[in-house]
């Protein structure tokens, strides 16, 4: 089970994910989570920095879609001003949202990466489909109720990884 929870890369922020890095990996598009990955879970709109990062990726030919477990109103408010397609109520880690995202992006599994802040949703679901995975350090210290439970489980996984000598962003 640990292999399904372990991302391909731990990154401190999405800004470490550059077009050059993605192209070196053969990645042509990203499926990204929204809350605590791109912006705080309680911030409604994109920051200027996130908007610039997404534009930089798009200008380099990297396709982007948001896959969020949150409701349509929340995701639409963030995505529409940026012109980013989205999937709301994604029900991650179930695979249907990832497959829908691949179809919308017109990409094969080996051409897409998942960017998210949770092992139990973002990474688990993407790993089950053999997508490349980036686990981002959460941008906020607080979480919604369901995510708080996930963080407790993640803490146990991080402790296991530490005992095994596997470096995460927690040790960087």
DSSP 95-156: THHHHHHHHHHT--GGGEEEEES-IIIIIHHHHHTT-EEEEEPPSSS---HHHHHHHHHHHH
Name the phi and psi angles at 138, rounded to 5: -55, 140
Q: Is the pLDDT of residue 172 over 60?
A: no
Is a pLDDT exceeding 70 seen at residue 21?
yes
Here the tokens at position 106 are 């017109």
At residue 7, the pLDDT reads 94
pLDDT band with cut points at 50, 70 and 90 for residue 157: confident
Lowest mean pLDDT across 86-95, 125-134, 156-165: 156-165
Give the separation between CA 56 and CA 171, rounded to whole angstroms.
29
Average pLDDT, the chain: 90
| pLDDT for the residue 60 | 98
Among candidate residues 116, 119, 71, 64, the one with its CA nearest the CA of residue 91: 71
Mean pLDDT calculated for residue range 28-36? 96
> 2-163 in CATH: which number?
3.40.50.1000
Question: What average pLDDT does this structure show over 126-147?
Answer: 84
> 31 by DSSP, 3-state: which?
strand
Q: Rounded to two decimals, what is the model's pTM?
A: 0.87
């Amino acid at each position: 089970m640990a292999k399904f929870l372990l991302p391909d890369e731990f990154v401190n922020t999405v800004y470490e994910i550059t077009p050059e890095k993605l192209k070196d990996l053969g990645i042509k598009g990203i499926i990204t989570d929204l809350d605590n990955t791109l912006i705080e879970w309680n911030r409604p709109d994109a920051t200027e920095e996130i908007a610039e990062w997404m534009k930089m990726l798009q200008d380099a030919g990297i396709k982007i879609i948001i896959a969020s477990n949150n409701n349509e109103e929340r995701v639409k408010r963030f995505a529409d001003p940026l012109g980013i397609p989205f999937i709301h109520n994604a029900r991650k880690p179930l695979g249907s949202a990832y497959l829908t995202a691949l179809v919308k992006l017109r990409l094969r599994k080996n051409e897409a990466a998942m960017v998210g802040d949770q092992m139990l949703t973002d990474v688990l679901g993407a790993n089950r489909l053999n997508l490349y995975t980036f686990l981002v350090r959460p941008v906020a210290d607080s979480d919604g109720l369901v995510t708080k439970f996930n963080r407790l489980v993640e803490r146990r996984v991080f402790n296991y990884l530490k005992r095994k000598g596997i470096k995460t962003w927690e040790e960087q």
